Amino acid sequence: MHPLNIAVVGRFAPSPTGPLHSGSLVAAVGSWLAAKQRGGRWLLRLDDLDRPRCRQEFEDDILRTLERFDLHWDGEVSRQSNHEEQYVAAFEQLRKLDVVYPCGCSRAEIARLASAPHPGEEIPYPGTCREGLLPGREPRAWRVRTKENVVTFDDLRHGAVVTALDETGDFIVKRVEGFFAYQLAVVVDDHLTGVNQVVRGDDLLDSTPRQVLLHQMLGWPLPHYCHLPLVTGPDGRKLSKRDNRVSLAAGSVAGRESELLVWALGFLGVKVPEAYAGARCRELLAWAVGLPLHLTYLHIPGQLQQTLRLLQ
């Protein structure tokens, strides 16, 4: 993913709004391996932007769960809640570049104006306030102009990803109440900590073009990206915070950490040999780091169903 002479800095960035589940474990193991196979650093950031839903008990549980799997991070744990000043500075830079504008539209109004089916959960913004607020309107948020912006980036698993952002609409970077949106926050977070390798789930693939655009607008170098297949439930849907927990909150998996780690490696296309049956997490990770630098990140449904049974 990187030229050999560049030190790799990867990261894992869970939100402390609930315990880790098997999908979180895959993302953690995948990002850890991708960094460590290159002799790089693996950082831990707590994405606590959604402060009303974040709880100390979840934060503590996340840290202890990672330690149980011997997924030890480098340096201090960082938190989005400590980066407010840097978010403000980045937003002001975007204002000076005249690439953001105030928007007075509500979500209900945007939904009524939607004229065509749209993928995903987010409704494309039609650009109502792009040329100025409508008479009598107060700003609700600040949006980035995406008109005529076509973003291209290379993903380790998906290859070249090309997105015409005007098809998804101008996106929010700041709420009028002062809350910064995830799209801007994560770009600032990664830049602040020198992250140059982002390995995460496919659920964030649609967000990446927006983050690439912000990196480009702010003049910051792009990380290398890899989006992993999602761990899903029997109905094919993404796991929720309550599903397949691998944290201390799920007492039924205590003592099965090695078994779960073997499953996570298999989900990523790394088959653990029989000689390592019963090995501890530390031994399994040391073996995986020594493999040739190549992860296939294959989704194997049979292994998924096996883990669903394990966690019930």
CB 259 within 8 A of CB 310: yes
User: What pTM was computed for the model?
Assistant: 0.88
Q: What is the pLDDT of residue 301?
A: 43
User: Domain limits at 292?
Assistant: 9-80+192-213+226-311
Q: Is residue 55 part of a domain?
A: yes
Asked if 197 and 184 sit in the same domain, the reply is: no
Distance separating alpha carbons of residues 220 and 89, to the nearest angstrom: 14
Asked if 198 and 302 sit in the same domain, the reply is: yes
Q: Is residue 4 part of a domain?
A: no
Q: Is residue 26 part of a domain?
A: yes
Asked if 289 and 163 sit in the same domain, the reply is: no
Q: Is residue 1 part of a domain?
A: no
Per-residue burial over 154-173, b if 16 or more Cβ lie within 10 Å, else e, is: ebbbeeebebebbebbbbbb
In the chain, where does DSSP find H-type helix?
A: 22-36, 56-68, 84-96, 107-113, 182-192, 208-218, 257-267, 281-289, 301-311
Residue 309 phi/psi, 5° resolution?
-65, -40
Asked if 236 and 172 sit in the same domain, the reply is: no
Distance separating alpha carbons of residues 265 and 270, to the nearest angstrom: 5
Q: What is the pLDDT of residue 302?
A: 43
Q: Is residue 56 part of a domain?
A: yes
Asked if 205 and 304 sit in the same domain, the reply is: yes
Reduced to 3 states, what is the DSSP secondary structure of residue 265? helix
Distance separating alpha carbons of residues 261 and 233, to the nearest angstrom: 18
Asked if 19 and 157 sit in the same domain, the reply is: no
What's 148's domain CATH number?
A: 3.40.50.620
Q: Is residue 259 part of a domain?
A: yes
Number of domains in the chain: 2
Reduced to 3 states, what is the DSSP secondary structure of residue 270? coil
Q: pLDDT (tens digit, 0 to 9) for every residue of the chain, 312 residues total?
A: 555 457 999 999 999 998 898 889 999 999 999 999 999 999 999 999 988 889 999 999 999 999 999 999 999 999 999 999 999 999 999 999 999 999 999 888 887 766 544 444 567 898 899 999 988 899 999 999 998 889 999 998 899 999 999 888 899 999 988 899 999 999 999 999 999 999 999 999 999 999 999 999 999 999 999 999 888 766 666 655 555 678 766 565 778 899 999 999 998 888 899 999 889 999 999 999 998 755 544 444 444 444 434 443
Q: Is residue 301 part of a domain?
A: yes
Asked if 183 and 279 sit in the same domain, the reply is: no
Asked if 207 and 305 sit in the same domain, the reply is: yes
Asked if 67 and 208 sit in the same domain, the reply is: yes
Asked if 236 and 92 sit in the same domain, the reply is: no
Tell me how far CA of residue 189 lies from CA of 11, 62, 80, 152, in angstroms: 11, 19, 7, 21
Distance separating alpha carbons of residues 178 and 302, to the nearest angstrom: 46
